[in-house]
Amino acid sequence: MTHQHHPHDEHAQANAAHHEGHGAQPSHGAHGDHGGHTGHGGHGDHVAQFRRLFWMMLVFAIPVVAFDSMFASLVGYSLPQSGWTTWISPVLGTVMYVWGGRPFLTGAIDEIRGRQPGMMLLIGLAITVAFLASWAYSLGFVSHELDFWWELALLIVIMLVGHWIEMRSLAQTTSALDSLAGLLPDEAEQVDGDTTVRVAPSQLQVGDVVVVRPGASVPADGRVVDGTASLDESMITGESRTVRRSVGDAVVAGTIATDSGLRVEVTATGDDTALAGIEKLVTDAQNSSSRAQRIADTAAGLLFWFALTAAIITAIVWS
């Protein structure tokens, strides 16, 4: 399992562009593969993966921290004198570095290959330095000041919970867009003289009259010209009770006629519908998050170079 910041950013942008066109093209087609995610299901899978990984690493982190000599001295308790206890933190810490740190290490490698240092490279560098220094201490090559096993464990756990929250937020946003897109019917019954013809909602034009049968969704914003029905508008307004609509009343695309049929004259289609407006608000919010992510990655890149320069200068001074 791998996780990278930049592919998520690209996924958000591509996903936003896809949903923006839903007002004109209601058929909810499959999403392309963005950065290793196949459609929206990819976010749900990543949420579950990061959740499981976080809880497993948390279980490993507890003994790593508890049996770390540096942490024990800071808190003020004594560790058992058995020789095997000194290897609990190194062994479990190595498991955490290889397993729990894998998303960050693979992300760091990708950033190096792309010559775009960012947050993943910064995290990967931090846990790698902590891992190597801690093993150097455990093998007796350096003093106890470079024992970072418990810091390594906590850093990995904290970063995993942060990425879990990030993936859950992305999954919720894309799920909301999917729900909105699913409100529109695949076909609309357009009145053509004494008969009706089935057309895609994207083919409707202002002034067309459509038949909305009981249990069907309204394909476009319009005005009732015949019939009376109770409409379920909960997905648009949040109101759970149905609303009675009759001749002359306005109806909104995506609402459902629950008890009887209607004839509706189309007054707005495509991006001009209320449903498309709601989708645009959700999409804009997602794009705003993507822009914030790019700014954060840029800042992380600058921080990486600053930290690397400071480390080199410090090493030169110490030597």
Tens digit of pLDDT for each residue in 109-159?
998 998 888 888 889 999 999 999 999 999 989 887 788 999 999 999 999
Tell me which of 238, 256, 271 is where a domain ends. Answer: 271
- pLDDT recorded at residue 30: 34
- pLDDT recorded at residue 69: 78
Residue 254 and residue 294 in one domain = no
- pLDDT recorded at residue 265: 93
Residue 163 and residue 253 in one domain = no
- pLDDT recorded at residue 181: 65
Residue 57 and residue 155 in one domain = yes
Residue 117 and residue 162 in one domain = yes
The domain that contains 229 carries what CATH number? 2.70.150.10
- pLDDT recorded at residue 79: 78
Q: Does residue 124 contact residue 3 with C-beta atoms inside 8 Å?
A: no
- Give CA torsion, residues 198, 200, 201, 205, to 10 deg: -80
Backbone dihedral angles phi then psi of residue 209, each to the nearest 5 degrees: -110, 130
Residue 143 and residue 45 in one domain = yes
- pLDDT recorded at residue 288: 67
Q: Which of 155, 156, 97 lies closest to 131 in space, CA to CA?
A: 97
- Give CA torsion, residues 287, 293, 294, 299, to 10 deg: 150
Residue 38 and residue 162 in one domain = yes
Residue 155 and residue 218 in one domain = no
H-run or E-run covering 10:
helix 5-20
Residue 106 and residue 12 in one domain = yes
Q: For the chain, what is the radius of gyration of the CA atoms?
A: 28
Residue 257 and residue 284 in one domain = no
- pLDDT recorded at residue 254: 83
Please list the ranges in the chain whose pLDDT falls under 70.
1-44, 172-183, 285-292, 319
Domain count, the chain: 2
Residue 196 and residue 149 in one domain = no
Residue 77 and residue 222 in one domain = no
- Counting other chains too, the contacts that 125-128 makes at CB distance below 8 Å and 24 or more residues apart are 125/304, 125/307, 125/308, 126/155, 127/97, 127/101, 127/152, 127/155, 127/156, 128/97
Q: Which domain holds residue 47?
A: 5-182+277-318
Residue 18 and residue 148 in one domain = yes
Return the structure tokens found at 288: 């705003």
241 vs 257: CA distance, rounded Å: 13
